[in-house]
Homo-oligomer: A and B are copies of this chain.
Amino acid sequence: MRVRLEDVARATGVSPKTVSRVLNEEPSVKESTRQKVLAAMESMNYRPSPAARGLAGSRSFLVAMLYDNNDNPASTYLAEVQDGVLDACDAHRYSMMACPLRMRGQDFIRRVDALVFDHHIDGVIMTPPLTDFAPLLQRLKEHGVPYSSISPVQHGGAIGVCMDEQQAAKALVTHLVELGHRHIAHIVGIANHGASRWRMAGYKDALAAVGLPFDPQYVVQGEFTFGSGVIAARELFALPELPTAIFAANDDMAAGVMWAANERGLKVPRDLSVCGFDDTPLATQLWPPLTTVRQPSREMGKLAALQLMELLRGRGTGLLVQVPYALQLRESTSRAP
């Protein structure tokens, strides 16, 4: 019924172990032998059994994507990252297990142990804020499970993928400055996300670069959600001197700002310029379309997974790749009134 490694061996006239060697790309197989075996595998349509490989060997060809969907309101982001990871898995004959984690409580320990022990996971791909969740990283290290991070805060030694968000945020805010805005507010994201820190830093950089003062009352805390954007905007609208532009740390909050502006009777961009970050589908679905920064989530997922797989295959030690950002200037920003 099923074509087994042994069948391929018999057909080729070599021992099963040699076929195994070819399968696992081990060195010290004569090139001519390798070719014969590969041909047989191909023609017999041989597919190794992951279960058997996992049981007998040390590798499972399974990677896990860990994410915290409680602290990650933008499900679009996670979905895109996941698709990217799956792209990479596909290319390298790995399988992926999606594993939502709750950072609060000890749940994550149990989950991670389950992944490692039960499934013999070969490696892990993580999204923020898990990328810098010390207890998790420690556990993974204890288990000796390699991991690849997407936008980790700590760049030192991490492998995965990142973007220069600080520079991007600076560029975005600089754009506002160039439009003549002098009272630019910022809505910060969830504290434990590196994204919040970088985007805020970029905001400050941009102000400093042109000698504009940093005014704490123009900086409001948000939570990356639409609702928190609304609340933050209302807060800003209650100030004696309204900002003429608001830079929200992500698109969802920017959407909230635009909502609150509507509520308040402010016309975007005539009375208020608004910009976000991420360039989620939402950005082009708002009226007016949102000025933001494009972050190639799917690509980043794919790259992070590829880095991990290079490492698992023993090729190289894994890198922290940087992907380029791109400003998306749309109609939600205009000259200061």
Using a CB–CB cutoff of 8 Å, the interface residues on chain A facing chain B are: 2, 47-52, 54-55, 60, 69, 75-76, 78-80, 82-83, 86, 95-100, 114, 117-120, 226, 252, 255-256, 258-259, 262-263, 281-282, 284-288
Total copies of the chain: 2
**CB-contact partner of A258 in B97, B119, B287, under 8 A:** B287
**CB-contact partner of A226 in B95, B258, B281, under 8 A:** B281
B47 lies within 8 A of A285 (CB): no
- A285 vs B96: C-alpha distance in the bound complex, in angstroms? 32
- A76 vs B74: C-alpha distance in the bound complex, in angstroms? 9
| Chain B residues, Cβ within 8 Å of A79 | 69, 75-76, 78-79
- A51 vs B83: C-alpha distance in the bound complex, in angstroms? 25
Given A95-B97, A98-B96, A281-B226, A49 contacting B80 (CB threshold 8 A): no
Known interface pairs A76-B76, A259-B287; 7 further A-B residue pairs with C-beta atoms within 8 A, sorted by A's residue number: A2-B117, A51-B54, A51-B120, A86-B98, A96-B97, A262-B288, A282-B282
A119 lies within 8 A of B95 (CB): yes
- A82 vs B262: C-alpha distance in the bound complex, in angstroms? 34
Given A78-B79, A119-B95, A55 contacting B51 (CB threshold 8 A): yes
Nearest first, the 4 closest Cβ-Cβ pairs linking A and B are: A51-B54, A75-B79, A262-B287, A51-B55
- A207 vs B118: C-alpha distance in the bound complex, in angstroms? 56
| Chain B residues, Cβ within 8 Å of A226 | 281, 284-285
| Chain B residues, Cβ within 8 Å of A83 | 69, 100
Min Cβ gap A248→B in Å is 13
Given A96-B97, A98-B96, A47 contacting B117 (CB threshold 8 A): yes
16 contacts between A and B (CB under 8 A): A2-B117, A47-B118, A50-B118, A51-B51, A51-B54, A51-B60, A51-B120, A52-B55, A75-B76, A75-B80, A95-B119, A226-B284, A226-B285, A255-B285, A256-B285, A259-B286
| Chain B residues, Cβ within 8 Å of A117 | 2, 47
B119 lies within 8 A of A98 (CB): no
| Chain B residues, Cβ within 8 Å of A60 | 51
| Chain B residues, Cβ within 8 Å of A98 | 82, 86, 96, 98
Q: Which one of A96, A114, A284, A286 has the greatest number of beta carbons of chain B within 10 Å?
A: A286
- A48 vs B285: C-alpha distance in the bound complex, in angstroms? 48
| Chain B residues, Cβ within 8 Å of A82 | 98
Given A47-B117, A118-B49, A252 contacting B285 (CB threshold 8 A): yes
- A204 vs B95: C-alpha distance in the bound complex, in angstroms? 45
| Chain B residues, Cβ within 8 Å of A78 | 79
Q: Which B residue's beta carbon lies closest to that of A230? A: B285
- A265 vs B119: C-alpha distance in the bound complex, in angstroms? 57
**CB-contact partner of A55 in B55, B95, B281, B284, under 8 A:** B55
**CB-contact partner of A114 in B47, B119, B252, B259, under 8 A:** B47
